[in-house]
Amino acid sequence: MKRFAGWTLASPATVLVVVFLVLPVLATIVTTFTTPDGPFATYAAFFASSFRRTVLFRTIQISLVTTVIALVVGFLTAYVVSRAPGWLKSILIIAAVFPLLTGVVVRSFAWLIILGKNGILNSTLLNLGLIGEPLTMLYTQGAVIVAMVYLFVPLMILTLVGVLESIPDDLIQASASLGAKPIATFMQVTLPLAVPGLIVGAVLVFTGSFTSYATPQLLGGEQVMMMGTLMYQQAMVTFDWVAASTIAAVMVVITIAIVLLMTRVARRLNPMVT
Amino acid sequence: MKNVIITVLAVSAAALLSAVPASAQGKTLTISWWGFNGEKLEAIVLAPFRAQCGCEIVFETGNNGERLNKIQIRNGAGVDVAYFSDSFSQQGIEAGLFQKIDPSKLPNLAGIYDLAKDPQGGYGPAYTIGRVGIVYDSAKVTTPITSWNDLWREDLASSLSLPGITTTAGPMVVMKAGEHAGVDAFADPDAAFAAVDALKPNVVKNYNTGSEMINLFSTGEVSAAIAQDFTLGQIQAAVPTVVWADLAEGSIATLNTVNIPVGAAEPELAYEFINFILSPEIQQQLAEQGVDAPVVTSVTLTPEQAALWTYGADLIAGLQRIDYVQMNAAKGGWVDRWNEIFGM
């Protein structure tokens, strides 16, 4: 009876999710299997193109590098924030969340000003005499990764602060009282208990990076084309919706695969993870 | 006295209403356009047209691709008048999205340049005319650019921006690369794309919107670009030393057309609107106030007003034309080849 009541209460939300989220994605993917050339023709064409393969691997590479850097930076920051006294913690969290108050385009645009030929970074290096002429930093993979890390680190911090705060101080003290050095305590107590937060943060950052459009478009352009920009090009310029849907399907499959892989890794690191 | 005033007001209101075609009252005209220069277009075009037709006007805004996609998804319905650059309106024509125009319903067609009257075989006229050429910062590029072939010069290394292949002017780069290689890009794309590849060392970034290109100039990232002339004023506002190159081979004509989709709910109102924007008075105001170049031959501009525009019979006669049917047919393959050069 309880189970029935639970299903009844959940059914309106479930119907909404299925109708407005799941069905449109399925409808998009179905179109890729119903072409006159056969069910897998569009996928064969996608993977036969060296350019599309390059874009796919580049997107995975940039997303993974962004995720790893965001994990390191986010974890260190979140650790400091979680250990800070109350008033300082509030200030640090506000500082971390502050960039989220502006749009993705604005935050990406800021990096145009920082990394440009006449930008803040080049001007500083020139004034210090460290370089003789401006460096080309924009429209490179490095520029895209830097901007993506900046975009997603706040999410990682917010995710991890809650997890790190929930680790009881008693455990840390117990570890120390049993003779563990701070590094051993960190590696054997803090880090394993933070794994759920790390996985959630990593999934958020990876999927965000993998599907991003504005940042690669502004800071990478055609030279650093990613899956999102390629999909836009196919849909809005060549009007090839089947090709665009194929790209979307490939992105969905890879995202699911990465999430499953991360969950598996998390289970190994911490068997408590479900 | 009070009754007299009320009577006068009532008669005035009736007179005003009778001036509006009865058929247009209560109707809604839906326009699909870019959304740029909204305030000026409201003052010059929309407010007087509302007064003329007594109708409501609603909009669909966005770039060419997005809006054409929407019309295509709706099988040519949802919009009464569609503004597009000619490469995109040609795609709409080929997809069967636009209806043929009855010239007898557009009396103002008689007053516009022949080039603009019927650029696409019976579909919408062009309401403005522009050109694609080269702009460069004369303070940085000390040897003037005088030919399309100059784009390959070594002194332009890492200082050039090309329009992306997905923009209106992008495929024109391939055509010019073909000419640089001494071939027709449609007949020998291999040679044309080899020339595009040779141009790559000069390219900093390819742009997808005019504002992106203007930004590249203003931040000093580039000192030369292939551009459409409507961006010149804004580039010069950011970098006053930027000039329009006087090219020996001439610039390329670009036309912006107005079309009536096949599913237009108010085609008669659409005709009335198109005829309105082709009137000498409206075209004069649009040109004077920096919105669009005129296609009406009787529009007269001062040299300062004309400086930004593709203006005058001689200039227009010297423009190169593009066969968009041929170009659109080749575009899909060109996009892939272009991506392989710039995206690998």
Contact check, Cβ <8 Å, A139/B215? no
Tokens of A52: 């599309």
To the nearest whole Å, the CA of A53 is away from the closest chain B CA by: 10
B208 pLDDT band (50/70/90 cuts)? confident
Backbone angles phi, psi at B146, to 5 degrees: -125, 0
DSSP state of B124: P
Q: Which residues pair with B173 in a beta bridge?
A: none
Tokens of A160: 């991890």
B271 pLDDT band (50/70/90 cuts)? very high
Q: Give me the pLDDT at residue A86, please.
A: 85
Contact check, Cβ <8 Å, B158/A136? yes
To the nearest whole Å, the CA of A168 is away from the closest chain B CA by: 50
ipTM for the predicted complex comes to 0.73
Q: At what angle do helices A191-210 and A141-165 cross, to 10 degrees?
A: 140
Contact check, Cβ <8 Å, B166/A237? yes
Beta carbons within 10 angstroms of residue B313's beta carbon: 9
Reply yes or no on whether the pLDDT at A121 is more than 50.
yes
Q: Which of A116, A221, A237 sits opposite B220 (nearest CB)?
A: A116
The residue among B20 and A223 whose pLDDT is bigger is: A223
Cβ neighbors of B207 (< 8 A, separation 6 or more) are A221, B161, B162, B163, B164, B167, B213, B216, B225
Q: Give me the pLDDT at residue B15, please.
A: 44
This model's pTM is above 0.95: no
Residues of A in contact with B164 (CB under 8 A): 221-222
Report the share of chain A in percent with pLDDT over 70.
97
Say whether residue B342 is in contact with chain A using an 8 A CB cutoff. yes
pLDDT tens for each residue of B18-57: 444 445 668 999 999 998 888 999 999 999 999 999 999 9
Cβ neighbors of B5 (< 8 A, separation 6 or more) are none
User: Which amino acid appears at position B277 of this protein?
Assistant: I
Tokens of A248: 């979307």
- Mean of pLDDT values over B88-112: 96
Q: Give me the pLDDT at residue A274, please.
A: 57
- Rounded to whole angstroms, what are the CA distances from A20 to A23, A183, A242, B305? 6, 48, 21, 52
Say whether residue B75 is in contact with chain A using an 8 A CB cutoff. no
Q: Which of B205, B219, B343 sits opposite A118 (nearest CB)?
A: B219
Reply yes or no on whether the pLDDT at B60 is more than 80.
yes
Give the Cα separation of B199 and B190 in Å (integer). Answer: 14
Cβ neighbors of B124 (< 8 A, separation 6 or more) are B82, B89, B98, B101, B257, B258, B259, B260, B274
Reply yes or no on whether the pLDDT at A273 is more than 80.
no
Give the Cα separation of B8 and B19 in Å (integer). Answer: 17
Reply yes or no on whether the pLDDT at B5 is more than 70.
no
Reply yes or no on whether the pLDDT at B139 is more than 90.
yes
Backbone angles phi, psi at A42, to 5 degrees: -70, -35
Tell which residue, B301, B273, B272, has the closest CA to residue B289: B301
Q: By a Cβ cutoff of 8 Å, what residues of chain A touch chain B?
A: 49-51, 54-55, 112-113, 116-119, 136, 138-139, 217, 221-225, 230, 233, 235-240
Q: Which of B204, B335, B344 sits opposite A139 (nearest CB)?
A: B204
Reply yes or no on whether the pLDDT at A239 is more than 90.
no
3-state secondary structure at position B31 = strand
Give the Cα separation of B30 and B269 in Å (integer). Answer: 10
Q: Give me the pLDDT at residue B23, please.
A: 55
Torsion angle defined by CA atoms of residues A133, A139, A143 and A145, in that order, rounded to the nearest 10 degrees: -160
Q: Give me the pLDDT at residue B9, please.
A: 46
Report the share of chain B in percent with pLDDT over 90.
76
To the nearest whole Å, the CA of A240 is away from the closest chain B CA by: 9
Say whether residue B223 is in contact with chain A using an 8 A CB cutoff. no
Contact check, Cβ <8 Å, B343/A223? yes
Dihedral of CA A239/A240/A245/A248: which sign? negative
Q: Give me the pLDDT at residue A2, please.
A: 66
Q: Which residues pair with B225 in a beta bridge?
A: B135, B161
Tokens of A54: 């390059």
Element (H, E) at B286: helix B280-288
Contact check, Cβ <8 Å, A237/B335? yes
B168 pLDDT band (50/70/90 cuts)? confident
Contact check, Cβ <8 Å, B343/A225? yes
Residues of B in contact with A123 (CB under 8 A): none
Say whether residue B67 is in contact with chain A using an 8 A CB cutoff. no
Say whether residue B102 is in contact with chain A using an 8 A CB cutoff. no
- Mean of pLDDT values over B52-68: 92
Give the Cα separation of A181 and A175 in Å (integer). Answer: 8
Contact check, Cβ <8 Å, B164/A50? no
Q: Give me the pLDDT at residue B18, please.
A: 43
Beta carbons within 10 angstroms of residue A36's beta carbon: 5
Report CA Rg, chain B. 22
